[in-house]
Amino acid sequence: MSAEDNLLKLVEVEEPEEHDYLLQEQVGFILRKAHQRHVSIFAAHIGDLTPPQFAALAKLRDVGETSQNQLGTLIAMDAATVKGVIDRLKARGLVELSKHEADKRRLLVNLTAEGRDAIERLIPLAREITQETLAPLSAKEIATFMKLLAKLA
Amino acid sequence: MSAEDNLLKLVEVEEPEEHDYLLQEQVGFILRKAHQRHVSIFAAHIGDLTPPQFAALAKLRDVGETSQNQLGTLIAMDAATVKGVIDRLKARGLVELSKHEADKRRLLVNLTAEGRDAIERLIPLAREITQETLAPLSAKEIATFMKLLAKLA
DNA sequence: TTGATATCATTTGCATACGAATGAATTCCC
DNA sequence: GGGAATTCATTCGTATGCAAATGATATCAA
């Protein structure tokens, strides 16, 4: 290889052509597809609840009664989004709402008995969903991936 | 109350009942948060276009004129979703639609001159978005992460 | 105490995202 | 050739997801 070739190669590596932008290699695009695949796996295992609805129930199981806003923070949903999710869970009798005695602004959310039964019943399925989502990776790869993904989230 | 009871209560308070299922460690939940963070970074750099709209333009730049359905396949959107995205890009004059001569079912989509200008102008910003999204990782970690993420998508 | 500020919840508007149903056009295959 | 199956696009309904505006309440600070 000539000196000119080496120089050219170096220049190419350090200053890539403006035309070689490949959508399918961008992290955002792949992230969106990976998320889509997960949601699809979720729906195949748990047909009557969405991932956000499941997240709300699972978090209420962890922390018990909380305000709607606080629950939203815990499951990474803004106030407008969490309201819709809770409304639908309430309509199905899985959560119940009550007013905070001291702070009249707050709307408390809690599992109903039916909601508690539902989440306990669904958690084994959720484990399968996690497993199937990660199935393309080896155990070692899963550990690495989860560590790096957590850094990005 | 016995001393044992007090001890037990203390333990319960400081180490709340160990639930064997932790939402915040599930891949689906973290994937959703990572995707949210990316969309937020995208919006901070490119305010007047959404990631799916950008994806449509970038892919049209790659492949040139295609049918609406085919474009949807290329950017991982179902027919109903891609229609809305293309409708909005058309309303803004960034793409133009035409009928396929041989196959009357197909609706061809292509960039307008304005659309081509827009995507060329935005690609440098998209590179910054990718960089900022991956900023929490080292170069080596990025390589590892992208390889594993691609396996999951 | 009171006026400014902050927090909680709601509502509206817009943009994905997808299942299901529908209609039009094409292809398959007997 | 012609009926069955497939493909392409559209529409409808439901569910996130978020920005921005609003109203009610609570907290802070002068």
Which of A26-30, A65-69, B2-6, B74-78 is least confident?
Answer: B2-6
Helix and strand numbers (H, E) in chain A are 7, 3
Looking at the predicted structure, is the pLDDT value of residue A15 above 90? no
Question: Quick one: chain A helix, strand, coil %, rounded to 5?
Answer: 65, 10, 25
* B36/A contact by beta carbon, under 8 A: yes
Nearest CA among B85, B22, B100, B26 for reference residue A132: B26
Q: Is the dihedral of CA A10, A13, A15, A19 positive or negative?
A: positive
Supply the pLDDT for residue B26: 98
pLDDT in tens, chain B (153 residues): 444 444 444 444 555 556 689 999 999 999 999 999 999 999 999 999 999 999 999 999 999 999 999 999 999 999 999 999 999 999 999 999 999 999 999 999 999 999 999 999 999 999 999 999 999 999 999 999 999 999 999
Q: Which helix (H) or strand (E) holds B94?
A: none
CA distance B82 to A26: 19
Report the SS3 class of residue B1. coil
Looking at the predicted structure, is the pLDDT value of residue A133 above 80? yes
Give nucleotides in strand C with any atom < 7 A to a protein C-beta.
Answer: 7-13, 15-21, 23-27
Looking at the predicted structure, is the pLDDT value of residue A2 above 80? no
Phi-psi group of A6: left, alpha or beta (phi > 0 → left; psi -120 to 50 → alpha; rest → beta): alpha
* A108/B contact by beta carbon, under 8 A: no
Q: Is strand D in 7 Å reach of the CB of A91?
A: no
Instruction: Determine, for residues B148 and A130 on separate chains, whether the beta-carbon distance falls below 8 Å.
Output: no
Supply the pLDDT for residue A94: 98
Distance in Å from D9's C1' to B68's CA comes to 8
Q: How confident is the model at residue A58 (pLDDT cuts 50, 70, 90)?
A: very high
| Tokens 């995208």 found at | B42
| Tokens 């990776």 found at | A137
User: Contacts of residue B124 in chain A, CB cutoff 8 Å?
Assistant: 18
* Mean pLDDT of the residues in chain A: 91
User: Contacts of residue A30 in chain B, CB cutoff 8 Å?
Assistant: 146, 149-150, 153
Whole-prediction pTM? 0.87
Given the DSSP bridges, would you call strands B66-67 and B95-99 parallel, antiparallel or unpaired? Answer: unpaired
Distance in Å from C3's C1' to A77's CA comes to 33
Identity at B148, one-letter amino acid code = L
> Which of B12, B18, B29 should we substitute to test contact with A (largest number of A Cβ atoms within 10 Å)?
B29
Supply the pLDDT for residue B68: 98
Q: How confident is the model at residue A1 (pLDDT cuts 50, 70, 90)?
A: very low
